[in-house]
Structure 1
Amino acid sequence: MLITGAELADGRVRDVRIRDGTIARVATGLDAAAGERVVEARGRHILPGAIDVHVHFREPGASHKETWRSGSKSAAAGGVTCVVDQPNTSPPTVDGAAFDEKSTLASSSLVDYGINGGVTGDWDPEGLFERPLFALGEVFLADSTGDMGIALDLFEEALAEAADRDVPVTVHAEDETLFDDGALDGDLGGPGTAAVADAWSAYRTADAEIAAVERALDAAAGFDSQVHIAHTSTPEAIDAVADARESGGAAATCEVTPHHLFLSRENAGRLGTFGRMNPPLRSEARRTAVFERLRDGDVDVVATDHAPHTVEEKRRGLSDAPSGVPGVETLYPLLLESVRNGELSMERVRDVVAANPASVFGLSAKGRIAEGADADLVLVDMADPREIEAGALHSACGWTPFEGLRGVFPELTVVRGSVVYERDPITGAESFGDPVGRNVRSA
């Protein structure tokens, strides 16, 4: 395949030739070979495929919410060419047998993938590390997050095991002792009321995240292991990670999610229980401060924490509705719309969704458009933003918290040279390729 006349994130216009799954040439004036497919891309941008290091594709155990097939279709249609699945499936991915079961299911993926290992009281490090494990985590430091919650001593055990194997540890940091139980008292109304979603934000306080991040960083400073703080939702937590790294403490990085970048407690009235997630939505002032840190380079990665649940499940009352929102398909589109609005540079977006995740997690063949790299590519028309509509998305859950916002969606998504998603720019007709994904740690 030859893609001609496309604009890179830095503004240069180049042709890109793909051969045997990798990028063979990035140059100008390339001529098509006999029988080679040519994609004329003048007026469009070509970007490296996004690497979403935080998804929950729900298989095994909850395929009514999402499957590897439906989740990877959603990823491909959003320009995500590699995902990292978290271990809180059923059974949880805490031993070799559970890893093997999930790996078999993942063979239906259209995009490349990594599988994280979970840390619980009965986890089996030896069995996990005999497999092509991506990382440990998402390690929960708050018991109320679910049965994956762990104590600090178990977290330190995970840090030691990870250091010996040179793999990162991803942390969900909230201190449940700082939750405000009083925020859930009284009559909050039905699941669609503003008071419901706002109460969840008041309950899981910002201080709970800040304290847990600081505790995790302090613990990690004593180990030679990489710590990645998942879904930071406060500017204070982002600053703590930056301070730890700059002071020579923990080798730490952080991610933020699109829902913490583009939604706040001001959206509670629209979302109701659909706005329940962990960590919760923050104040508009904190949301703005987090976005500013993304813009200024203090955020390492943007990942979605794609956590789909059905509409019926999310309509339950506050105490029963599960936490989490879908997002893998809208990651690139929302950030690219911020480029259109002058809020972010194209290069910054490229870095936080592709180059930086590849660097942080050691994916040397991914995250860049360069000769010899995997041909994971996304073609977008920045002059063609679209309104985000749940009915046009591909996740099995059938809804999105970003309904009505605008995004720039891909016309073409390529994974190691194979077209996995294509949308006709004139008719809007879509097509998907066959499963081509593979585990990036066993490639």
Structure 2
Amino acid sequence: MSGEADLDQSAKAQKDVQDVANLVYLIIMLHGVGTLMPWNMFITIAPDYYTNYKMKTFDENGTAHATEYSANFLNYLGIASQIPNLLLNFINIFVTVKGDLTKRIAASLLVVGSMIIFTMSFVYVDTWKCKRMGAFFVITLLSIVLLNGANGIYQNSIFGLASDFPFKFTNAVIIGNNLCGTFVTVVNILTTMISNNTANAAFAYFGISLFTLCICFASFFLLKKQPFYQYYSKRAMLARQDEGTVAKPSLTVHDYLEAFKQGWPQMVNVYLVFFVSLTVFPGIMVDVRDNLLGQEYAFVLPEKFFVPVTCFLLFNVFAFIGSMLAGRFQYPEPERLWMAVYPRLLFIPYFAFCNYRPHSRTWSVLFPSTWLYVFMGTIMSVSSGYLSGLAMMYAPKVVEPSKSRVVSMMAGFFLIFGIVSGLAFTIVVSAFIEH
């Protein structure tokens, strides 16, 4: 077959093609940052900007008063963000995967960027009157739905694109995800230290997000010119063509079932890693305190930095380190990865029985030590980055080459499914602890 001859010729050329200055790797890692930048920006700024600023009313003395919108905004934000992301991730799996994914990625980036500009246009608008606030609330949620729906396609397609390259490139997306969280957390801490103006901070947050996405969009023009990118994209296309998947108008139900059958162990691993991580972080960790009920705060950090450092900074930094380690060391091997993933479920009861919600819990605190909490948080975070990186790298490589792209997209769906499930299960944990 001509496809086989092309593959042989392509294999001979492989030694001569190199990722000069790791440029392709860095661009894919940049898109790992880009895929989570909107979510991280919204969730970080939401408590100060939306809950305590835009969604509150102010009396003549400047005193803020909670409203029905501020009381439940964070819950609505989670639903409006992750459900569309999950659904569009799922649909994107079944959209024809032949050819170049960069057009799909570029289109979704344009939608995401437009929604961020739209959001920024309201930063300095007075929304504190009741009628305006109701309209602003609805408009904000609709824009978040559109933004995260497009972002779901963007994220899923990036994993599909990365699957055409050696498996460390899939891990580059995970590294970018964790680097994004670290970056946003540092920005949040610095803003807390130097500025008390909520509107200016929000404008800066959204502006940084937009700037990052503009760089991501522009990087595609550079990416497609790289010989390394062209070689591996053509090689992957020839592999799919040789097995007949490009010639088909679309994949059949049998193709999807066969892909799932070959890759499901790694998809379950991906799901469980993110389910545990997102149950614990940020939902539980953000409400863990140093001082037991009736005691004085005594930790080494200033109290206002306790949560930003021991929750957000700790998780994001060590998850980033874990994902970097996954690029250097691949152990355990694919068939034994579950032995490291499944025991992480024990993190959920551990963190629930730390000093979590001390003022409202009805169960006793079994693990009051803050230093033990920090140590276990470090282990949980490193293992999250490391094991998620391994599972996402293994998924497209344990199946036939013709199915690697669709399996990578399936793994991307299970990543988001794990996030959504974890965020939802946090509600179950809190209800259990408080009743």
TM-score, length of structure 1 as denominator length: 0.23
The structure with the greater share of residues assigned to strand is: 1
The structure with the greater share of residues assigned to helix is: 2
TM-score, length of structure 2 as denominator length: 0.23
Larger Rg: 2
Q: Which has the higher contact order (CA 8 A, sep 6+)?
A: 2
